[in-house]
Structure 1
Amino acid sequence: FALGRRRATPRFPYGYGRAEDLAGLVVVLFIAGSALFAAYESINRLFNPSEVRFVWVVALAGVIGFVGNELVARYRMRVGREIGSAALVADGLHARADGFTSLGVVAGAVGVALGFPAADPIAGLIIAALIVTVLWSAGRDVLLRMLDAVDPAIATEAREVLTEVEGVEGVGAMRFRWIGHRMHAEAEVMVDESLSVGAAHDIAERARHALLHEVPHLSSALIHADPCGHSGSDPHGPLAHHERAVAPVS
């Protein structure tokens, strides 16, 4: 977050927000490490059992650890979703994975107290499986963010906002991308072809202003005004052969 707040530079024209996404990837790797470590330790204890001493003290510590980690997890995940930070949500899931580990300690201690020594490593294996489910959720969100995936509902909402702007006769291609926990947008709006450059610019600015106010987490937008082409002409026709195989959201 500290690095992401730095101003954009000629070398980093979009700023340093991607550092936040890289941090999220590191968190995902830590969660994967937690799952592997829990599985390894559980298998080792299954084949090399050892006595668990002070069972109820261990259980109490596990309960405290679970409650504390779960509270931290919920707080981080809630804030992460509010500000649009996949990295912070992943960090919350990491805390939840730590909580699952504490819960496994409780389950194992109770099993040992009831006369089932194998309960400890078995509980550990179950917890490792639960951590894998956390890993899937965190990893999916972070990787989708790094691949510039965006919820299609955002494009739908943005199109509705742009359509309501006075002077906009249609909405063309749109692109969105997350940079850290902030979003950047590019959109084409169609305006009357008889308008002056200044009038078309004013409409584009009103469209940009509307997007920045109405689309959550959007921090910057670039709006291009196209002549509407009532005659059926395509203002981008001469550049059609340069278009990529994958068309932008329209």
Structure 2
Amino acid sequence: MSDQHDHESDHEPAHGHGHGHGHGRAEGGRGGIGAVLGRIGHAIAPHSHDTSDKTDSALEASDRGMRVLAVSFAVLMVTAAVQAVIVAASGSVALLGDTLHNFADALTAVPLAIAFSVGRRAADRRFTYGYGRAEDLAGIVIVLLITASAALAGYEAVRRLLDPQEIRAVGWVAAAAVIGFAGNEWVARYRIKVGKEIGSAALVADGLHARTDGFTSLAVLLGAGGAALGFPVVDPVVGLLITIAIGFVLRDAAREIYHRLMDAVDPALVDDAERILATVDGVRRVESVRLRWIGHALHAEVEILVDHDMSVVAAHKVAVEAEHRLIHDLPRLRAATVHTDPDGPDGADHHASLTAHRDP
């Protein structure tokens, strides 16, 4: 196994180091095309114990995500186009709001596709953690698109309340509502299923967004029913209700992106990591666990305490095993850096020179 760092002979016994699989030096005898492919593989999947398998898995996940986006984009654009034709023929504000929302939902595939594509690029000396954060930037674009669709739908609903107009082709409006629900529900199931399988929170969130759009499409049926019963005012009122529903989706999407940008994780993941580390032979105590999402991959930095009488080699072995356990047992974790500190002797402060430099 190759190591990330050279272990200098003047290291104190049992004082560990950051260690991350896949960032080490190429083994002797490995050169030419093999070395280049190896470096590319390590950059894409840094913790792999089998670089080629991990690289293939990462590329396959990105390819699946791109296929989902392409198919769902096509389905939603066709759905919205059909609805737009009926909007022009009927003048339904509720259906207009739903159509605008479906167009916006289809367009969210564009920034996500760009993010998946950019995220495949290997880490370099400027972007040392890679380009996975492109997914978070795509999330900001998605939030802006949802905001625009909500504002336009609300404007049209208020305008129609102030200037009521008769709705035509009520039956077609109802049919368009059903089409909108069917298209969104199919896309929602597809995005959520694949998003969970490849570990893309953004894709899962976009699938939940599509599901919400499906239910707002069903709300258009209320407007059509009101018009059929001689109450055309129901249509703009439903349009306002749809705008409010889009606002709730906007709130949830903005919160999700905010959490990602602030490196928030589910506390249960930290608990799981601590439990995994506690089962590793040689780990006396888990000092700290820090996790963050970079795109749809989870990264970890942990500090563990080991016996102060351990040799550097023995402490390194514990660190490697701790990293190995984390990568295999913590879902979606692709990179882990493990730092070992000596536990003892009593009264010893192995970080005394750093105390003044640490945050209070």
- Whether TM exceeds 0.5 here: the answer is yes
- Relative distance call for 1:37 and 1:93 in structure 2 (3 A) is farther
- Please tell me whether the aligned partners of residues 89 and 138 of structure 1 are also in contact (alpha carbons under 8 angstroms): no
When structure 1 is superposed on structure 2, of 231-240 and 161-170 the one drifting more is 231-240
How far has the Cα of 1:100 moved from its partner? 4.3
**Map of 2:221 onto structure 1:** 106
Alignment of 1:25 onto 2:109 = no
How far has the Cα of 1:217 moved from its partner? 1.0
Alignment of 1:64 onto 2:176 = no
Q: 1:231 aligns with which of 311, 334, 346?
A: 346
- SS where residue 117 of structure 2 aligns? coil
Alignment of 1:129 onto 2:244 = yes
Q: Distance in 2 between matches of 1:244 and 1:183?
A: 25
How far has the Cα of 1:195 moved from its partner? 1.4
- What count of residue pairs does the alignment treat as equivalent? 245
**Map of 2:306 onto structure 1:** 191
For structure 1, list consecutive stretches of 5 or more residues without a partner in the other structure.
246-250
- SS where residue 254 of structure 2 aligns? helix
Q: Distance in 2 between matches of 1:216 and 1:130?
A: 33
Amino acid at match of 1:215: L
Q: Distance in 2 between matches of 1:29 and 1:57?
A: 31
**Map of 1:160 onto structure 2:** 275
For structure 2, list consecutive stretches of 5 or more residues without a partner in the other structure.
1-115
The percent identity for this pair of structures is 56
Q: Distance in 2 between matches of 1:158 and 1:55?
A: 56
- Please tell me whether the aligned partners of residues 27 and 94 of structure 1 are also in contact (alpha carbons under 8 angstroms): no
How far has the Cα of 1:147 moved from its partner? 0.8
Amino acid at match of 2:159: N
- Please tell me whether the aligned partners of residues 27 and 90 of structure 1 are also in contact (alpha carbons under 8 angstroms): no
Alignment of 1:9 onto 2:9 = no
Alignment of 1:180 onto 2:287 = no
- Please tell me whether the aligned partners of residues 86 and 145 of structure 1 are also in contact (alpha carbons under 8 angstroms): no
Q: Distance in 1 between matches of 2:352 and 2:195?
A: 43
How far has the Cα of 1:82 moved from its partner? 4.7
Alignment of 1:218 onto 2:333 = yes
- SS where residue 126 of structure 2 aligns? coil
- SS where residue 3 of structure 1 aligns? helix
- Relative distance call for 1:163 and 1:225 in structure 2 (3 A) is same
- Please tell me whether the aligned partners of residues 86 and 142 of structure 1 are also in contact (alpha carbons under 8 angstroms): no
When structure 1 is superposed on structure 2, of 99-108 and 223-232 the one drifting more is 99-108
- Please tell me whether the aligned partners of residues 319 and 338 of structure 2 are also in contact (alpha carbons under 8 angstroms): yes
- SS where residue 209 of structure 1 aligns? helix
Q: Distance in 1 between matches of 2:307 and 2:277?
A: 15
How large is the RMSD of aligned CA atoms in angstroms? Answer: 1.6
Q: Distance in 1 between matches of 2:240 and 2:198?
A: 35
Q: Distance in 2 between matches of 1:82 and 1:66?
A: 24
When structure 1 is superposed on structure 2, of 77-86 and 236-245 the one drifting more is 77-86
- Please tell me whether the aligned partners of residues 216 and 245 of structure 2 are also in contact (alpha carbons under 8 angstroms): no
Give the TM-score normalised by the residue count of structure 1.
0.92
- Please tell me whether the aligned partners of residues 176 and 184 of structure 1 are also in contact (alpha carbons under 8 angstroms): yes
Amino acid at match of 1:19: A
When structure 1 is superposed on structure 2, of 12-21 and 92-101 the one drifting more is 92-101
- SS where residue 119 of structure 2 aligns? coil
Q: Distance in 1 between matches of 2:228 and 2:309?
A: 84
**Map of 2:158 onto structure 1:** 43
- Please tell me whether the aligned partners of residues 308 and 344 of structure 2 are also in contact (alpha carbons under 8 angstroms): yes
- Relative distance call for 1:35 and 1:81 in structure 2 (3 A) is farther
When structure 1 is superposed on structure 2, of 92-101 and 51-60 the one drifting more is 92-101
Pairing 1:75-90 to 2, within 5 Å after superposition? 75-90=190-205
- SS where residue 15 of structure 1 aligns? coil
